[in-house]
Structure 1
Amino acid sequence: MFDEKMLLDLQSTLGSHGILISFSGRFSQGIIEELGEAIMEHMKAEDRPRNDIYNVFAIFVEITHNIKKYAQSKLGSDFYDQIYSSGIVTIGRNEEGYFICSGNLVEKTDAEKLANALDALIPLDKDQLKKCYKEQRKKDLPPGSTGAGLGLIDIARKSSKPLHYSMRDMQDLEFFTLTVMV
């Protein structure tokens, strides 16, 4: 049973890791907007630089939309309910700056594609990321595509450090985590 001690322990754990906002579950447009607004207000109250506020907000929105769109794309999959309910995002601050850490279940074939895309982006510097972004914008969208493939590149461009990701085997699925520093 969940009680006040467990809630206090959870609050203490989040605070000790610098987590300001955390959400776990099914992402909707309303939840994304409310959480985005909350983090912007928090950062403004701390008198953070406008560019930091914009980058944290933009990365948060891109990541949460990616989780939501991915889950919606799995409608009809045997794992749809698991995938749709698996999203989590945290935003926090530590000595290096702000971090956005997210996770969600992905099908194994998609995990491999995602890892390949990230492995190609991580070693690139800011100029190379800018060039990659411009090249990607010029490409035609592949049939059945839901986007131009710019999201991860844009996240990497706004990040102050190389992206960090991991995959954890969860039997039929992989739990994908992404950490972005601003």
Structure 2
Amino acid sequence: MDNIDLFAMRERFNSQQIMLCFNGPISRSLIEEIGNALRNYLAADHAHPSAAMDVFAVYIEMTQNISHYTRSKGWNEQEAGATVVVSRNEDNRYVVSAGNLIESGDGQSLVVAIDQLAQLDKAGLKAAYKEQLRRPRDAERASGAGLGLIDIARKSSAPLQASLQPAADGRSFFSLRAVI
């Protein structure tokens, strides 16, 4: 294994204003621990309370979605890994990004649903949220773009961005980015 250049990694993280980064298997307890660290970081960063709450809520929703999905597939620890990054953009807004392996078909459907959400304004997102609330829940079906994703879109100050990159064995790496 090659030596990891931590200084170069640090410089890259600093230049991209990355404040928190995680890559690996994710569990409920880990989601909670990283969430606590994120809360502490946001407090130390003097984040506006509503922004801090939104960043935390989006982080929780994204990581729980990953955890639920990989658990529903029965994947092993390596397959169930996630990559989560919280950073700032050039406008000094918080950016929450998360990604994981996903069945390619599931990923394509999810990207389409997120692209549709990205086309909606605040009023459209509110209407979509209310419509989703009224829909009967089908326990047999994965939720796709359910309340959680609509809520992320509502908390975001810019349209959600999703991407899918092909991986092995009929899977892809799904990435979701929300700007708060």
Residues 30-49 of structure 1 correspond to what in structure 2 (within 5 A)? Answer: 30-49=29-48
The equivalent residue for 2:5 is 6
Residues 1-182 of structure 1 correspond to what in structure 2 (within 5 A)? Answer: 1=1, 3=3, 6-75=5-74, 80-81=75-76, 82-85=78-81, 87-96=82-91, 97-145=93-141, 149-171=146-168, 172-182=170-180
**Aligned equivalents of 1:146 and 1:41: distance in 2?**
33
**Aligned equivalents of 2:20 and 2:45: distance in 1?**
15
Count of residues paired in the alignment: 176
Kindly state the Cα deviation for residue 13 of structure 1 after the two structures are TM-superposed.
Answer: 1.7
- Cα deviation, 1:106-144, whole Å, max 9, x if unaligned, reads 101111221221122110001110111011001101141
**Aligned equivalents of 1:173 and 1:113: distance in 2?**
13
Q: Say whether the 8 Å CA contact 1:83–1:106 is kept in structure 2.
A: no
Q: Secondary structure at the match of 1:154?
A: helix
Q: Which runs of 5+ in 2 are unaligned?
A: none
**Aligned equivalents of 1:167 and 1:54: distance in 2?**
28
* TM-score normalised over the length of structure 1: 0.90
CA distance change for structure 1 residues 112 and 58 in 2, over 3 Å: closer, same or farther? same
Kindly state the Cα deviation for residue 95 of structure 1 after the two structures are TM-superposed.
Answer: 2.4
CA distance change for structure 1 residues 143 and 35 in 2, over 3 Å: closer, same or farther? closer
Tell me the percent identity: 38
Kindly state the Cα deviation for residue 8 of structure 1 after the two structures are TM-superposed.
Answer: 2.1
* TM-score normalised over the length of structure 2: 0.91
**Aligned equivalents of 2:105 and 2:2: distance in 1?**
37
CA distance change for structure 1 residues 63 and 170 in 2, over 3 Å: closer, same or farther? same
Q: Which runs of 5+ in 1 are unaligned?
A: none
Is 33-42 or 53-62 further displaced after alignment?
33-42
